[in-house]
Amino acid sequence: MGAMGQITVKLPDGTPLELAADATGAEAAAAIGPGLARAALAIRAGGELRDLSASLADGEEISIITDRDPEALELIRHDAAHVMAEAVVDLYPGTKVTIGPPIESGFYYDFEFPPETRVSDDDLARIEEAMRAHIKADESFERRDIPAAEAIELFREQGQDYKVELIEDLVRDEGTETVSLYRNGPFEDLCRGPHGPSTGRIKALKLSSLAGAYWRGDENRQMLTRIYGTAFFSKADLEAHLERIEQAKARDHRRLGPELGIFMLREEAPGMPFWLPNGTVLLRLIEAEVREQLRRRGYVEIATPQVLDEELWHRSGHWENYRDDMYFMDSDDRRFALRPMNCPGACLVFGSQRHSYRELPLRMAEFGRVSRNEREGVLHGLLRVRAFTQDDAHVYCTEDQIADEVIDICEAIDELYARFGFTDVRVELSTRPEKAMGTEEQWAKAEAALTEALERQGREYQINPGDGAFYGPKIDFHVTDALGRSWQCGTCQLDFQMPERFELSYTGADDKPHRPVMIHRALLGSMERFAGILIEHYAGRFPDWLAPVQAIVLPVTDRNADYGREVRDRLAEAGVRVTIDERSESVGKKIRAAELGRYPYMLVVGDREQEAGAIAVRSHDEGELGALGVEEFAARLGASPDAG
Ligand SMILES: [Zn+2]
Ligand SMILES: [Zn+2]
């Protein structure tokens, strides 16, 4: 404590700042400078984010939060959620408010509208307008702390039953005695805070959509109306955000997939995609790239059953840890499970033979189809499904070989991702979770081995404490797509447990049996999910080598159709993936249709081309390439008769 009636706080650069004894964050900002006082939104003090109006304590480290800080957007979005509730309660008297947090790209608030009140997308503009009025009025956020019992009484009188329930739970579960309320304008909400100083800090605002949401996510409770929105510090930032959303929509694989004949989803099998002809080609092309890695890196490939006796899943530990996500079935008085993972099958293969230390590391790959009983609510196109194919492999090795094997897997991932146009690969190391099999010592050893592999490569990585699989720590690989979005793909997981459970062994140089270590790894993760990511990354316009159909032949008139078919056959013979538009339509119409089909090449054949035995080539990327010979074009594409 400094002089009487004074405190000293520390600024981020270590400079001490003397303030009056009950100074607030706002006063601290003003003491530093008038510009900062105007820009201040909140204060970080003693490690937590607080209102500017909160008092500071002696000795605290403080930093003033302005719109340049990463926490700032979240703060004004939370402000905006209150403003939305304020506007909604005003526009729709009798509305019950629940909760309204900031989320990654904005905020939402869940409401129970009065019976008979229908609110739709058409009403969002009206709510937005009411919000703008409150923002223009620059209402200050004022906090007060009152006894929980008093708050319950207050909200009960207002008919705000959800708030009453929230406070009653706080009292019962956490022994809360005092709760905080935040008022802006006429609206007062139960809230922990913090908030910005006033509504005027919200500079740009957009309400985006409505959705149904159960109170507390419980389907037995009231269905509420959730309104989503977002807020920014400038109109330009909001516009850039909306532009990104538009781009993402245009690339949405759930729309492009069916449009381009890649896949479809049906009510008859939720979460289990149907692969259409173009999609099947795409999957085979992706698979070929993975196989190339397997071939060069000394893998063998196996294929094991999808339906296995339940007993096996008890042995593997999956039943204990994973049964809620598994499909079971009864047949011939036996109980079977559809495999959610391929590992137990691989262990049966390894265990079926004697192995010498000379065979290790033994790398066994499997394109393994797995099924997981995900809740219907979380399913999302190809990105979250119930049935998919892992480009899986299990590497059996000694402890000394782990680091080298992990490095080899990382290299395979780098090469493979680069081939698909992803060069920005982010790595995360996840460590022991609460629900884990095995001893502390095994976990420590496994985590050390993964860390060593990453360090030896000089890779940057992020650590996710407690996020490992139940059987071992793991490394996850994330790619960044053309819109800057991050997707988790590959994984590399160490496992000391399963070899134990399946009593796997190899004969060492000492002629004695030893337990191998098992590495589970997938380069792409789910083949189908990766295809979905590729569709969005390329917006359905795949590079020449990856396009399911590389070229479409467009006969100018019906009399050129025979020649068109001949061109198609010769190209197919040469290894080009090619189709033909034989409809009796104008060539202009065919070109527009082909444009929508996103073929890399259109091959126009009219009388002139027919006479010359040529094709007029139009490349999507390079425009008109003029007349080429049929085989000349195939060679240009790098086609080979064995490919595809
Ligand atoms: Zn709040
Ligand atoms: Zn596995």
Q: Which residue has the tokens 């304008």?
A: 185
Is position 392 annotated as part of the catalytic site? yes
- Nearest ligand to the CA of 395 is 2
- Angle 148-157/161-174 helices, nearest 10 degrees? 160
Residue 641 has pLDDT above 70, yes or no: no
Name residues with Cβ closer than 5 Å to ligand 2, which is an ion.
Answer: 343, 520
pLDDT-based confidence at residue 643 (cuts at 50, 70, 90): very low
Q: So what's the pLDDT on residue 219?
A: 87
pLDDT at 82: 98
Label the pairing between strands 425-430 and 62-65. unpaired
Q: What is the pLDDT of residues 418-436, one digit of tens each?
A: 999 999 899 999 999 988 8
- Local structure of residue 89 (DSSP, 8 states): H
- pTM of the predicted model as reported, rounded to 2 decimal places: 0.79
| Catalytic residue flag (residue 77) | no
Question: How do residues 589-601 score in pLDDT, each as one tens digit?
Answer: 999 999 999 999 9
CA of residue 210 to ligand 1 center, whole Å: 20
82 is catalytic: no
Q: What is the mean pLDDT of residues 7-35?
A: 93
Tell me how far apart the alpha carbons of residues 601 and 583 are, in angstroms, rounded to a whole number: 18
Known catalytic membership, residue 343: yes
The predicted pLDDT at position 320 comes to 85
Cβ neighbours around 461 below 10 Å, total:
16
Q: What are the DSSP E strand ranges found in 566-609?
A: 578-580, 601-605
> How far from chain centre, in Å, is Cα 432?
22
Q: How far apart are CA 64 and CA 43, in angstroms?
A: 5
At 291, list the tokens. Answer: 């196989």
3-state helix, strand, coil in the chain (%, to 5): 40, 30, 30
Q: Which two tokens stand for residue 581?
A: 């538009």
Are 448 and 407 in contact by the 8 Å Cβ rule? The answer is no
Per the annotation, the verdict on 390 as an active-site residue is yes
Sequence letter at residue 23: A
Q: Which residue of the set 160, 293, 390, 497 is catalytic? A: 390
Measured distance between the N- and C-terminal CA atoms of the chain, rounded to whole angstroms: 77
Q: Tell me the per-residue pLDDT of 229-266, one tens digit each, with 9 for 90 and over.
A: 999 999 999 999 999 889 889 999 999 999 999 999 99
Answer whether 476's CB lies under 8 Å from 502's CB.
Answer: no
pLDDT in tens, 95-152: 999 999 999 889 999 999 999 899 999 999 999 999 999 999 999 999 999 999 999 9
How far apart are the CA of 143 and the centre of ligand 1, in A?
10
pLDDT at 3 over 70: no
State residue 642's pLDDT score. Answer: 52
Report residue 644's pLDDT band, with 50, 70 and 90 as the boundaries: very low
Note the pLDDT of residue 438.
81
Q: Phi and psi of 464, rounded to 5°?
A: -110, 95
pLDDT digits (tens, 9 = 90+) for 156-172: 999 999 999 999 999 99
Write the pLDDT tens digit of every residue in 341-360. Answer: 999 999 999 999 999 999 99
Percent of the chain with pLDDT over 90: 87
Tell me how far the alpha carbon of residue 50 lies from the centroid of ligand 1, in angstroms. 12
Task: Give the number of whichever ligand sits closest to the CA of residue 322.
Answer: 2
> Looking at the predicted structure, is the pLDDT value of residue 1 above 50?
no
* 195 CA → ligand 1 middle, Å: 6
* Tens of pLDDT, residues 453-494: 999 999 999 999 998 987 889 999 999 998 888 999 999 999
CA distance 551 to 549: 6
Give the Å distance between the CA of 260 and the centre of ligand 1.
Answer: 45
Q: How far is the CA of 161 from the centre of ligand 1 (A)?
A: 18
CA–CA dist 187, 182 (Å, integer):
8
Other CB atoms closer than 10 Å to residue 65's CB: what's the count?
A: 23
Distance (angstroms) between ligand 1 centre and the Cα of 192 equals 6
* 3-class DSSP string for 301-346: ECCCCCEEEHHHHHHHCHHHHHHHHCEEEEECCEEEEECCCCHHHH
Q: Tokens in use for 306? A: 């999808």
d(CA 272, CA 2): 68
Q: Considering every ligand atom, which ligand is closest to the CA of 368?
A: 2
Catalytic residue chosen out of the listed positions 474, 521, 598, 618: 474
User: What proportion of the chain, given as a percentage, has pLDDT over 70?
Assistant: 98
Q: Is 376 exposed, middle or buried (0-12, 13-18, 19+ CB in 10 A)?
A: exposed
Q: What is the pLDDT of residue 531?
A: 97
Give residue 519 CA to ligand 2 midpoint distance, Å. Answer: 7
**Catalytic option among 50, 96, 372, 521:** 372
Q: What ligand is nearest to the CA atom of residue 345? A: 2
In tens, the pLDDT along 36-60 reads 999 999 999 988 999 999 999 999 9
Separation of 532 CA from ligand 2 center, angstroms? 23
Residue burial 29-47, b: 16+ Cβ < 10 Å; e: rest: bbebeeeebebbbbbbbee
- 105-117 per-residue burial string, b: 16 or more CB within 10 A, e: under 16: ebbbbbbbeeeee
Q: How far is the CA of 489 from the centre of ligand 1 (A)?
A: 36
Which of 44, 67, 253, 343 is the catalytic position?
343
Closest CA to 96 of 77, 83, 79, 109: 109
What are the backbone angles phi and psi of residue 506, rounded to the nearest 5°?
Answer: -135, 160
Cα–Cα dist 40/196, whole Å: 8
